[in-house]
Amino acid sequence: MKMSSQMVERALSQFEAEAVPENHPAVTQLNRLFGDHTFFIDDSGLSIVEPTEPSESGAHAGVVVKLASWSDSSHTTLAPHPPEATDLVILLEAA
């Protein structure tokens, strides 16, 4: 899911990560590998946020999905793996 700047700010207030800037040279390759998303980097690797069904109150949320893990201790090389949904649900927009 491609996120608006407000959604990115809201997501980053709820989990510790950095958004990969749209103008970063790796984004083209990331989009080719994983689709058109807003990508996040944290201590565990590369993630995206996938939307969930709206809640009964109408609030929009998304689950953090891990796409790649760091393969070295200096966090310079990512190893892609099948998408892994995490337990982290991010509130994107209130109802």
Are the CB atoms for 63 and 1 separated by under 8 Å? Answer: no
* pLDDT tens-digit series, residues 46-81: 999 999 987 777 778 999 999 999 999 999 999 999
Strands 60-70 and 40-42, bridge-based pairing: unpaired
Computed from CA positions of residues 73, 69, 11, 9, in that sequence, does the dihedral angle turn out positive or negative? positive
* pLDDT tens-digit series, residues 4-52: 999 999 999 999 999 999 999 999 999 999 999 999 999 999 999 999 9
Question: 93: helix, coil or strand?
Answer: strand
**Count of Cβ atoms closer than 10 Å to residue 83 Cβ:** 13
